Structure 1
Amino acid sequence: MEQAQTRLELFYSQVLAFATLYGGKVLLAIITLLVGLWVIGWISKLLTSTMTRRHVDRDVQPFLLSLVNGLLRVLLLLSIASTLGVQTTSFVAIIGAAGLAVGLALQGSLANFAGGILILIFKPFRVGDLISAQGFTGNVEAIRIFDTTLVTLDNKTIILPNGSLSTSALTNISTKGVIRVDQVYGVGSQNDLDATKASIQKVVNACPYALKDRQHDVLIAKLNPNSREYDVRVWTKSENFWDTHYYMLENIARQFGKDGIEAPKPKMFITNEA
């Protein structure tokens, strides 16, 4: 009986010593945990409202939110461990080394990820836009975190990495809603100048995709010994770019045939040498 009482007193004394030594730290750690969770929640709400206000893509918002939450919770855990007297230097070193290793292993993927975030935030193009980039031209079908998908005119699917797409030059054909289709046509110099311009103008006037409120141009661009080149500039809606391009090519060829506009004729010069 006395032995049990002695053990009980020893236990109480150890608990009291532990409470005296660590009680303040544990209480401070609990307060830090509660305040930290509240701050993380407040930052999450602020970030959500900011992304909504700036029209950040809805598919990206949960990912960014979870990423920020994860980083903040790691910092909170390190802060609590430091409050309890745990040496966090080794943990920080391990986390840094792991982050460096992962970063080196996924260097290309991280560049594509960062590029995807920039594209989704700043929106140099949107889904449905007609763009020309990396030597390809097509409509944007999807913008994902790591890559962007284009569908070309011949219905091929092109997948472009966001890293290079966000840092290189690209042409967004759809941005302004209106675009000019520029073409060059060569005819023989034996054709009457006014008759040639009138023949081209007929096709421009008949083009169903040409905007009626814009001035379209038929200009002489170059004079060659046996030919003339005409710049033809037709304004149209961005989504009708290719329709206008091919309409003009086909129908100008037909109109030239009807009006007797001939192609350049090659000339051969023969000299007699003594």
Structure 2
Amino acid sequence: MNKLAFFNLKGGVGKTTSAVNIAWHAAQDGIPTLLWDLDPQGAASWLLHRKAKSKSEPKKVLAGKTAIGELVKATDYPNLDIIPADFSFREFDVLLSDITDKQNAVDKLLAPFSERYALIILDCPPSFSTLSEQIFDTADVLYMPLIPTHLSLRTFEQTRDFFKQHKLKPKRLRPFFNMVDRRRSLHRVMISHPPKMLKNGLQSTIPYAAVVERMGDFQAPLGSFAENTPVAQAYANLWQEIKADFP
């Protein structure tokens, strides 16, 4: 079972839309995929038109009183299921901090899914915390969407430094440029001459496109309603690169 995560400290960089679109492409390839929405905002859940149970109660899940499998919901797409988030997930990090068992709780919760899914995708909350540290430790690869700007690059640098400080492997960080607007000179320069810190980055770039916002209108992945658009094709290319990272 491969475990991937999408993360960025900065909001509005396309983290969730990337996670949803890549999960859809994986499912379309016939790969049994589970998307776990760990962001209390629940954007991925909303885009796939699924709600968490009225009270998902992370405390009961972590205590083993509620099986995490009970939180899984099927989506409208074959091979793609989701664990939806709700606002109660804001408690997740505090609950993890209170656990005396030093075992990685996120990894432990995911372990039983290996019999059912070939791919787990984690949509992460935008913060450094106990939860994010466990996600970083659990994921085989961490994908970071970056807008080609200096502030966005700084979030990558901060994440890379966090990995080093916590003895994680920075090579598992795989950045890619998202929301690229080639009318902007800075975007063009960064795409053509990526900073050295991004040497492990993906080649695929995702263009800025208004049609991405229509994912909210349809509550659906791009490929399901706009597969012939350049941005949908860009996500298809990104998926091929990500799939090539699988062992």
Larger Rg: 1
Fold conserved (TM > 0.5)? no
TM-score norm. by structure 1 comes to 0.18
User: Which has the larger helix fraction?
Assistant: 1
User: Which has the larger strand fraction?
Assistant: 1
Between 1 and 2, higher relative CO (CA 8 Å, sep ≥ 6) is seen in: 2
